[in-house]
């Protein structure tokens, strides 16, 4: 037995010495490389989701390398059009998107919808938040509502999406649930979350409707105060941030984010992408990224993803009609 153990150790040492352990280290690799296409600017929720997912996939060894490209324009429509028009040369690309792909197709911001792409996987959920600048006299939703009552046109709420887009819709939902006229809300759009946050910090807007994960980063840095979260219960990533429901505003909302590929993607490529994302959830690397951002795991792949999107399309369409956006 002793001879066997020494021989085995010697064999392992010999293999390591001649460099044959390299492939073993990559035995969990599912995809060689992924190029992430991000339809908005740096600092927004799409940017954070793509880079966080790429970080987890590569650190866990499921993907060899990841690269990133920001392509702003048209409320996300520029990147979608690019992926469709250049489908054959983009089989190595995954585009991140979220609820706005449903909203903006409903409102005609761009001519495409999710059915024009290859659906890969829904990945995470991110609650929405209303935040104010660190020096703002507003400290709660009650304060914001009082400011709105006193001066509706002077209490602008900004967001990183077009009018009628998700940030606008969330602000309208919250104000409607608080008993206010959602159509009276002055909404100012910005191209992606980074520019919207800059407007908040400069005092150009009174409050910002944004993704919870984006709000957490700046709250932790002492730049903003989170005055309301659209979760049913407080979120561990910001335990002091009150929910809307705690403040008497009966509404909740979660924005999914996930990945799409070019139309006509070969089945084996699609299966590999879906396999890599599915395996990612069991890795500590993903849990680090998820917890850091306050995301909720919402994984639905293939047909389940399509059913989810079709249901959301119906629900959001009904809501937007009620609020006068359609």
Q: What angle do CA 218, 57, 159 make, to 5 degrees?
A: 30
Tokens at residue 231, please? Answer: 């979760």
The alpha carbon of residue 37 and the mean position of all alpha carbons in its chain are separated, in whole angstroms, by: 13
Residue-by-residue DSSP string for 155-224: S-EEESS-TTSHHHHHHHHHHHHTTS-GGG--EEE-SSHHHHHHHHHHTSSSEEEEEHHHHHHHHHTTSE
- Helix (H) / strand (E) element for 312: namely helix 303-323
Q: What percent of the chain has pLDDT over 90?
A: 63
Contact of 90 with 81, CB cutoff 8 Å: no
Which of 293, 303, 320, 308 is closest to 47 using CA atoms?
293
pLDDT tens figures, 115-165:
999 999 999 988 999 999 999 999 999 999 999 999 998 999 999 877 777
The tens digit of pLDDT for each residue in 296-325 reads: 898 999 899 999 999 889 888 887 887 788
- With pLDDT > 70 as the criterion, what percentage of the chain qualifies? 91
**156 near 147, Cβ under 8 Å?**
no
Identify the pLDDT of residue 33: 98
The total of other beta-carbon atoms located within 10 Å of residue 244's CB is 26
* CA–CA dist 250, 175 (Å, integer): 10
SS3 content of the chain, % helix, strand, coil (to 5): 50, 20, 30
pLDDT digits (tens, 9 = 90+) for 154-204: 999 999 877 777 888 899 989 989 999 888 899 999 876 677 778 888 888
């Amino acid at each position: 037995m002793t001879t066997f153990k020494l021989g085995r150790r010697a064999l392992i040492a010999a293999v390591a010495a001649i460099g044959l352990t390299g492939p073993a280290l990559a035995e969990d690799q599912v995809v060689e490389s992924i190029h992430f296409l991000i339809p908005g600017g740096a600092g927004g929720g799409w940017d954070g989701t793509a880079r966080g997912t790429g970080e987890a996939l590569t650190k866990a060894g499921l993907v060899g390398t990841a690269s990133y490209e920001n392509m702003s324009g048209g409320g996300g429509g520029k990147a979608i059009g690019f992926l469709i028009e250049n489908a054959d040369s983009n089989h190595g690309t995954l585009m991140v998107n979220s609820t706005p792909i449903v909203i903006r197709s409903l409102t005609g911001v761009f001519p495409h919808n999710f059915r024009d792409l290859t659906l890969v996987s829904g990945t995470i959920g991110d609650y929405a938040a209303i935040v104010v600048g660190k020096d703002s006299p507003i400290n709660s939703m009650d304060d914001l509502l009082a400011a709105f009552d006193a001066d509706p046109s002077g209490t602008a709420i900004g967001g990183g999406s077009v009018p009628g887009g998700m940030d606008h819709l969330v602000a309208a939902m919250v104000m409607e649930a608080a008993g206010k006229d959602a159509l009276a809300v002055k909404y100012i759009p910005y191209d992606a979350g980074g520019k919207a946050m800059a407007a908040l910090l400069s005092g150009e807007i009174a409050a910002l409707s944004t993704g919870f994960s984006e709000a957490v980063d700046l709250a932790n840095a002492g730049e903003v105060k989170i005055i309301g979260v659209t979760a049913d219960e407080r979120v561990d990533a910001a335990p002091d941030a009150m929910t809307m429901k705690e403040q008497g505003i009966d509404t909740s909302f979660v924005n999914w984010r996930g990945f799409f590929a070019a139309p006509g993607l070969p089945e084996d490529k699609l299966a590999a992408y879906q396999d890599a994302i599915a395996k990612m959830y069991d890795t500590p690397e993903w849990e680090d990224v998820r917890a850091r951002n306050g995301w909720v795991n919402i994984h639905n792949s293939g047909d389940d993803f399509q059913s989810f999107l079709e249901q959301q399309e119906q629900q959001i369409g009904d809501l937007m009609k009620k609020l006068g956006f359609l």
